[in-house]
């Protein structure tokens, strides 16, 4: 029963994650002019798409690797590699998203890192980088002792959820900032809730719902990889509880 509920939740998350990415692409394509990689505002337009895709959706997928019932039994190393590789892909997309906005600012002579959104975002990326390197060095490389891994695991889990929470806050503040800057026209101002504002606000709410579901699954004890003493019980659930 628990396994079936998990897969139902995964299906809902996959649908929500895809909707988050597609709605962001549609918003930028339809109302903001599309995409380019030429230093213009069309290059900036890659920023929200890459950040939602990397920092929210792919990051969440990587975080949920250990919640798959198949990871409850058998060797843990392949799942570690999958976890690290998916996080690395999320980080690469995030760096590309940062490059898009910094390069656009450079071409337009716009200062960097002056807004609350940018402070929150760069803090999130910094913590993500620290989290990935700590995880790679301690949990993937063979040098660390079991005692050290046990000591650092709760910290790693805490910051994993914290980075996702900060990423969601960064996305929401970024959508808000973009709408305030682009909807300044008196007849089409943000406060009048034109169609773009409604659509972008709904996209932001999708990100919030998606993130809350991911955090719930990450924190639910029944979906965590069991400790050694619980392996037999979880294996029976996996194979006999459908």
Residue 228 has what pLDDT? Answer: 56
Q: How far apart are CA 168 and CA 78, in angstroms?
A: 29
Dihedral pair phi/psi, residue 183, rounded to 5°: -110, 70
Note the CATH number of domain 13-221: 1.20.120.1770
For the chain, 242 residues long, give each residue's pLDDT as a single digit of tens: 466 777 788 889 999 999 999 999 999 999 999 999 999 999 999 999 999 999 999 999 999 998 888 887 778 889 999 999 999 999 999 999 999 999 999 999 999 999 999 999 999 999 999 999 999 999 998 888 999 999 999 999 999 999 999 999 999 999 999 999 999 877 789 999 999 999 999 999 999 999 999 998 888 877 777 765 445 444 544 555 44
Q: How far apart are CA 164 and CA 155, in angstroms?
A: 14
Residue 3 has what pLDDT? Answer: 67
Q: How far apart are CA 26 and CA 203, in angstroms?
A: 10
Q: How far apart are CA 234 and CA 236, in angstroms?
A: 5
Residue 174 has what pLDDT? Answer: 97
Q: How many CA atoms lie within 13 A of 164 on its CB side?
A: 28
Q: How far apart are CA 27 and CA 182, in angstroms?
A: 13
Residue 7 has what pLDDT? Answer: 78
Location of structure tokens 């910051």? 159
On whether the pTM is more than 0.85, the answer is: yes
Using the CB atoms, write b or e for 47-79: b if 16+ within 10 Å. bbbbbbbbbbbbbbbbbbbbbbbebbeeeeeeb
Domain boundaries, the chain: 13-221
Sequence-separated (6 or more) residues with CB below 8 Å from residue 123 = 166
Dihedral pair phi/psi, residue 92, rounded to 5°: -60, -45
Dihedral pair phi/psi, residue 112, rounded to 5°: -100, 155
Residue 227 has what pLDDT? Answer: 65
């Amino acid at each position: 029963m628990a396994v079936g509920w998990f897969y139902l939740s995964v299906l809902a998350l996959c649908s929500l994650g895809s909707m988050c990415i597609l709605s962001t692409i549609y918003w930028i394509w339809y109302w903001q002019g599309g995409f380019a990689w030429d230093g213009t505002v069309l290059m900036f337009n890659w920023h929200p798409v890459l950040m939602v895709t990397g920092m929210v959706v792919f990051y969440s997928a990587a975080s949920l690797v250990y919640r798959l019932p198949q990871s409850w039994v058998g060797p843990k190393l392949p799942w570690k590699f999958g976890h690290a590789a998916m996080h690395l892909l999320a980080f690469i997309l995030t760096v590309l998203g940062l490059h898009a906005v910094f390069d656009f600012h450079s071409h337009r002579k716009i200062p960097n890192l002056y807004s609350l959104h940018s402070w929150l975002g760069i803090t999130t990326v910094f913590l993500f980088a620290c989290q990935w390197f700590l995880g790679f060095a301690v949990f993937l490389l063979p040098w660390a002792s079991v005692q050290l891994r046990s000591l650092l695991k709760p910290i790693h889990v805490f910051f994993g959820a914290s980075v996702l929470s900060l990423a969601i806050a960064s996305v929401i503040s970024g959508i808000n900032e973009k709408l305030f800057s682009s909807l300044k026209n008196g007849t089409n101002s943000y406060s009048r809730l034109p169609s773009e504002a409604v659509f972008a606000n709904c996209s932001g709410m999708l990100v919030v719902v998606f993130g809350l579901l991911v955090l719930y699954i990450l924190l639910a004890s029944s979906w965590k990889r069991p400790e050694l003493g619980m392996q037999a019980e979880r294996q029976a659930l996996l194979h006999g509880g459908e």
